[in-house]
Amino acid sequence: MKTVIQLFFFLTLLTGLYSCGSSRVPTAVPSAPAADPESLSKSLFNFEGRSISEDDIARILSSDIQLPDTVRLAILNYSSSSVNRYYSSYWSNEEFLKLQQSFVDIFKQKLETNSKVKRVILMPKLMIGNNPNIFTLRESAVRLQADLFLVFSINSDIYYRYKVFKKDEAKAYATAEALLMDVRTGIIPYSEIVTHEKQVTKDNTIDLTDQDTQKRAENGAIQMTLEDLSNRLNQYLRSNL
């Protein structure tokens, strides 16, 4: 009888200990707060080696760049002289030179209205030489004391349709490519490619030749493309500065 009583108390004690152990809630280990991304303050791109170390690649991809609240923005039209098929001796043609300048003016006028842009600086092609690369372009922007450097180029083509009983038509396509560089780090935080088309009908009151019609179509397509690109760039600057 005594053995039975001892066994009963032993089982009761064992059951109580198990209940206490099973009801214990494990203590949660607090997780370490996520570290803020490192901010780059200088370029990690090596001009002489033409390569980036694995450590620098990891650092660049995991880092942020800090842009000023307002920026000095340099602009370069890197386009080749492809929009010249209608101009003889285009290097001295006043109309062609005005056309090239108008491409830059579209950007300049749009960006000057942006409160985030303190100053717009036009970079002369004289500064970049004959065979510029990404490193020499950055150095040219440094000489202008620019915070950001916008490089854009324009390519275009036209299609002319001759008609027998209707007025002739011309359709043009224009593509603008652009990149925005942070001059301090050499990082390109923004790039864009924009394409637009423009179709016009020959107007005998203003088009003396078929080439005049083609010029109107091509210039119209280029203007639409650059205005769209400058609007997108303006939006990026307002959202990220």
3-state secondary structure at position 45: coil
Q: Is the pLDDT of residue 50 over 70?
A: no
Of 171, 169, 173, 178, the C-alpha closest to 156 is 173
- pLDDT in the model for residue 90: 45
Query: What pLDDT, on the 0 to 100 scale, is given for residue 107?
Result: 82
Q: What is the spatial distance between Cα 120 and Cα 114, in angstroms, rounded to a whole number?
A: 10
Q: What is the mean pLDDT of residues 231-240?
A: 92
Mean pLDDT of the chain: 78
Q: Which residue has the higher pLDDT, 37 or 58?
A: 58
Look at residue 30 in the predicted model and tell me its pLDDT: 53
Q: Closest by alpha carbon to 186, among 142, 233, 121, 234?
A: 142
**Mean pLDDT to the nearest integer, 2-28:** 49
Region of poorest pLDDT, from 59-73, 83-97, 112-126? 83-97
Collapsing DSSP to helix, strand or coil, 58 comes out as helix
| Secondary structure, 3-state, 90-136 | HHHCHHHHHHHHHHHHHHHHHHHCCCCEEEEEECCHHHCCCCCCHHH
Average pLDDT for 221-227: 92
pLDDT digit string, tens, across residues 81-109: 555 455 544 444 667 677 778 888 888 88
Pairing verdict, β 63-65 and 71-77: unpaired
Q: For the residues 111-134, what does the mean pLDDT come to?
A: 90
Q: Which helix (H) or strand (E) holds 120?
A: strand 117-122
Average of per-residue pLDDT across 140-164: 87
CA angle 76, 72, 137 (to 5 degrees): 35
Range with the poorest average pLDDT among 9-18, 26-35, 173-182:
9-18
Residue indicated by tokens 């078929």: 210
Q: What are phi and psi of 79, to 5 degrees?
A: -65, 140
Q: Centre a 10 Å sphere on the Cβ of residue 5 and count the other Cβ atoms it contains.
A: 9
* Sign of the dihedral defined by the CA atoms of residues 56, 57, 61, 64, in that order: positive
Q: How confident is the model at residue 182 (pLDDT cuts 50, 70, 90)?
A: very high
pLDDT score, position 139: 92
Contact 107, 76 (CB under 8 A): no
Confidence category of residue 14, pLDDT binned at 50, 70, 90: very low
What span, in angstroms and rounded, lies between the C-alpha atoms of 237 and 241?
Answer: 6
Residue 18 has pLDDT above 80, yes or no: no
Query: Token pair of 65, please?
Result: 């760049």
Q: How confident is the model over 58-63, as a mean pLDDT?
A: 81
Q: Which of 237, 153, 241, 139 is nearest to 195 (CA)?
A: 153
Q: Give the domains, in start order, of the chain with CATH numbers.
A: 71-240 (3.40.50.10610)
